[in-house]
Amino acid sequence: MRNFRHMIKEQTPLYIFVAVLFLVGVVFGALIISALTMDQQQELSDYLGNFFMTVDQHGLPAAPESFWSIAGLHLKWIGLIWILGLSVIGLPGILVLDFLKGVLIGFTVGCLVSQYSWHGLLFALVSVAPHNLVVIPALLVCSAAAIAFSLLMIRSRVTARRPLRVGRPFAMYTLLSFVMALLILGISSFETWVTPTMMRWVTPSLVQATAEYNGQ
């Protein structure tokens, strides 16, 4: 536990860096909405309207298959970040993944808000925000640890006069990624069985907003 606290304290600047990079991605993703053409916005509006209609009438499947699909998607991000952290050339890839994750979140929330105003914001709060309050910090912690280990590998191979011992840092890095993966499995359960119910509470207002928009 003391080693983990020391590692987290040392990596605080990296946490700040990856968090800022993620936020820049969120802003960029939100700004993409304004760059869409009218036809693209209409297609997006039609897709969202059909999706909300489906959720309102039939709900979303809450089954073990859905759980492993959701968990697998999140775990792939964790695993890819872990693999990229093992190599020097993987360092830029970690930064790209953090930025891309921010873009995806920003674009999703931006679409909902631009199309449905506060109704869209409410839907984002129940469908996007809850699990991402855990998923995003877990990904950023893994990213900071991966960057730190990658920098250690660079220092070991390039700048150090003698090779540094990387066995213990590797074990700490792998253990941290494993703990974050377990956390992801836990929040994936919430996303599978709780989030669909919360979404169905909100979708009637979105279906009504869609009908009013199409009737204008």
Contact 213, 44 (CB under 8 A): no
Would you kindly state where each structural domain of the chain is located, as residue ranges?
Answer: 14-38+49-211
Can you give the pLDDT at residue 138? 94
User: If we measure between CA atoms, which residue out of 82, 104, 96, 101 comes closest to residue 30?
Assistant: 104
Confidence label for 133 from pLDDT (cuts 50, 70 and 90) = very high
Contact 69, 146 (CB under 8 A): no
Can you give the pLDDT at residue 1? 59
pLDDT, tens digit, for every residue of 140-163?
Answer: 999 999 999 988 888 777 665 556
Instruction: Enter the pTM of the model.
Output: 0.87
Residue 211 in this model has a pLDDT that exceeds 70: no
pLDDT, tens digit, for every residue of 35-53?
Answer: 888 888 888 878 888 888 8
Residues 6 or more apart from 110 whose CB is under 8 A from it?
29, 30, 31, 32, 33
pLDDT, tens digit, for every residue of 58-112?
Answer: 666 656 778 888 999 999 999 999 999 988 788 899 999 999 999 999 999 999 8
Mean per-residue pLDDT, 172-200: 90
